[in-house]
Structure 1
Amino acid sequence: MDKRIVDLRLDQLEDPRAKTVKEPFEKQYTYGALLGSGGFGSVFAGQRISDGQQVAIKQISRDRVQQWARLPGEVNMVPIEIALLLSLGGGMGSVPGHRGIIRMLDWFEVQGQGQGYLIVFEKPQPCQDLFDFITERGALEEPVAQRFLKQVIEALQFCHSKGIVHRDIKDENILVDTRTGDIKIIDFGSGALLKDPIYTDFEGTRVYSPPEWILHQRYNAGPLTVWSLGVLLFDMVCGDIPFERDADIIQATPSFTKRISKECQSLIRWCLAYRAEDRPTLEQILHHPWMMENSEDIVDLPGKSNIKPSL
């Protein structure tokens, strides 16, 4: 697979390393248990030595990086994930972040035998990813799903305002604070610069990808994102994703396995419209009647703190 190089114009960023000499990773952090691994690399728990802050440490092998970027003040290219996270408010730069996006605290290039990169993230406590959250509890009550979806969309709007598209929205890439019900989007390894023309590359998750990618290997960023949100909403309210096979994705007709309100079904079907141009925008999703419902009741999550369905 070809490896693409992206020149990012991160003019708003200060060079995060220009002012001080950076101490090596092992002087600043310690490793903990393995939290997960996949095609992206591995993620470990960790701790910052200076103050004991709990962190997550993502290891990325150099040979797994498909997209590279040039940063101001850096001689070597870096994985595009690092550049995207910097532009979203990570590291020591001056860009304000968003509460719905995981914050990168630091990053390091690793030389030698295990050459690659280490990315250090904040680690909200207590939290679990939405996949595990749904696996433990089953299908979510609609007010809880509405609260989560609203936060995801607002975080994605922030990404788009910074010229970035995530391209891999799914339950595994959403962290839930089980105490407050706040979410954070993680893993920008499949992300890219937002552009109007057609994309012809995709490194996200196939069962969350739209018919136009399956059939033609082409898509636009907006409709791709909205399709994945339709899959995500179905997943939350039904307890599993709607499509497993390419043939099912191309049919684009979700079969509801749980008793779901007509308003929620209509939003899911709108997001999962076969034709990209028939899908809503993020703004239109937020103004859909189902999203406008504003229950002030407290939703009880089994074994966890109560979570308000909407803010």
Structure 2
Amino acid sequence: MLDKRMVALRLDDVEDVRGKTAKEPFEKQYKCGALLGSGGFGSVFAGQRISDGLQVNSKTSFSHHFLSLCPSQPDKPSLVPMEIALLLQLGRESPAGPSHRGIIRMLDWFEVPGQGYLIVFERPQPCKDLFDFITERGVVEEPLAQRFLKQVVEAIQFCHSKGVVHRDIKDENILVDTRTGDLKIIDFGSGALLKDSIYTDFEGTRVYSPPEWIVHQQYEAVPLTVWSLGVLLYDMVCGDIPFEMDRDIVSANPSFTKRISKECQSLIRWCLSFHSKDRPTLEQILQHPWMLESAEDTGDFQEESSISPSL
């Protein structure tokens, strides 16, 4: 499934983003604004690029997972946090960032001696994360949920084609453009290089993790992702996640609290199959009857949402 050459990051990738010559420090290029959020991953601030006024977000990174950008040249140590390495990998064919509109673009990154790293991202406007979107709306109507899920799956397929697995797909890591309904996946801080073998580490969100991680502390990339998509779809159409406790995850038996079509329930249950081998592939999700039926009429997003823009 994965061409090993696709994950061989090069020093050239860094030069594409950082420029061929030494660049000015962060504070010379950007104005740092209000704190937007913080946690174990670090902190996210609103900001502005001084040269043209572009609105951006900056994120501090304290990751303890690093990847060499020149694995074939040990005499040139170029270790960067995994998140930066993955974003470079996604944008490898385009210095301006990922060529898929469903992935947040990294605009720049800086090493701050003694303080870690700063990552600068585009700041789509107006937007809000999918968690807030669902909270304000109560539930997402099935046609719109199908539209959202299709975008997320296609963005994930792009990531996998570039040798990257996100590992923390959830509503809080998805931005919604409140004018158009377009989505972007954010926060690759829990991500990893895609591989066909078993993973035994996980830093994603536990209530989105599959039974095999809860029971055996191991999983494969695609079944993990598909399980999280099942949780996400349930979250959209029911207004909350299906499982809170480990025992509920292991039971793999979601109880539907809203009136959901049988076709939608069918896709959710398939994604949330206890055995990983019983779950669909990403391609099968896109070809599920519910996805194909709902795709005919998603309505006008702006009229449907009736939500004031939020930054």
Partner of 1:83: 85
Partner of 1:71: 69
Which residue identity does 2:8 align to in structure 1? R
CA contact (8 A) 1:88 1:95 kept: yes
Q: Distance in 1 between matches of 2:92 and 2:237?
A: 32
More helix as a share of residues: 2
Partner of 1:20: 21
- In the alignment of these two chains, the number of paired residues is 294
Q: How does 1:271-282 map to 2 (within 5 A)?
A: 271-282=271-282
CA contact (8 A) 2:9 2:68 kept: no
Q: How does 1:70-149 map to 2 (within 5 A)?
A: 70-72=68-70, 75-89=77-91, 93=95, 97-112=99-114, 115-149=115-149
Residue 286 of structure 2 is aligned to residue 283 of structure 1:
no
Deviation per residue, 1:30-77 (Å, 9 max, x gap): 11111111111110000000000000000123xxx1310112497441
Partner of 1:212: 212
Alignment gaps of 5+ in structure 1: 1-7, 306-311
CA contact (8 A) 2:93 2:99 kept: no
Partner of 2:9: 10
Q: Cα distance, 1:301 vs. partner?
A: 3.0
Q: Secondary structure at the match of 1:19?
A: coil
Alignment gaps of 5+ in structure 2: 1-6
Q: Distance in 1 between matches of 2:224 and 2:249?
A: 13
Q: Distance in 2 between matches of 1:171 and 1:96?
A: 21
CA contact (8 A) 2:14 2:88 kept: no
Partner of 1:3: none
CA contact (8 A) 2:124 2:177 kept: yes
CA contact (8 A) 1:13 1:94 kept: no
Structure 1 pair 87/42, CA: closer, same or farther in 2 (3 Å)? Answer: same
CA contact (8 A) 1:210 1:249 kept: yes
Q: Secondary structure at the match of 1:15?
A: helix
CA contact (8 A) 1:128 1:178 kept: yes
Q: Distance in 1 between matches of 2:93 and 2:281?
A: 31
Once the two structures are aligned, what percentage of the paired residues are identical? 73
Q: Secondary structure at the match of 1:85?
A: helix
Which residue identity does 2:84 align to in structure 1? I
Deviation per residue, 1:195-218 (Å, 9 max, x gap): 111100000000000000000001
CA contact (8 A) 2:98 2:105 kept: no
Partner of 1:303: 306
Partner of 1:5: none
Partner of 1:182: 182
The farther-off stretch of 155-164 and 15-24 is 15-24
Q: Cα distance, 1:228 vs. partner?
A: 0.1
The alignment's C-alpha RMSD in Å is 2.0
Partner of 1:54: 55
CA contact (8 A) 1:104 1:120 kept: yes
CA contact (8 A) 2:98 2:104 kept: no
Q: Distance in 2 between matches of 1:281 and 1:91?
A: 26
Q: Cα distance, 1:10 vs. partner?
A: 1.8
CA contact (8 A) 1:168 1:191 kept: yes
Q: Distance in 2 between matches of 1:76 and 1:30?
A: 27
Q: Distance in 1 between matches of 2:261 and 2:208?
A: 23
Q: Distance in 1 between matches of 2:69 and 2:138?
A: 43
Partner of 2:261: 261
Structure 1 pair 196/166, CA: closer, same or farther in 2 (3 Å)? Answer: same
Q: Cα distance, 1:164 vs. partner?
A: 0.7
Q: TM-score, normalised by structure 2?
A: 0.90
Partner of 1:236: 236
Q: Distance in 1 between matches of 2:112 and 2:64?
A: 17
Q: Cα distance, 1:93 vs. partner?
A: 3.0
Q: TM-score, normalised by structure 1?
A: 0.90
Q: Cα distance, 1:278 vs. partner?
A: 0.2
Q: Distance in 1 between matches of 2:181 and 2:52?
A: 26
Q: Cα distance, 1:233 vs. partner?
A: 0.1
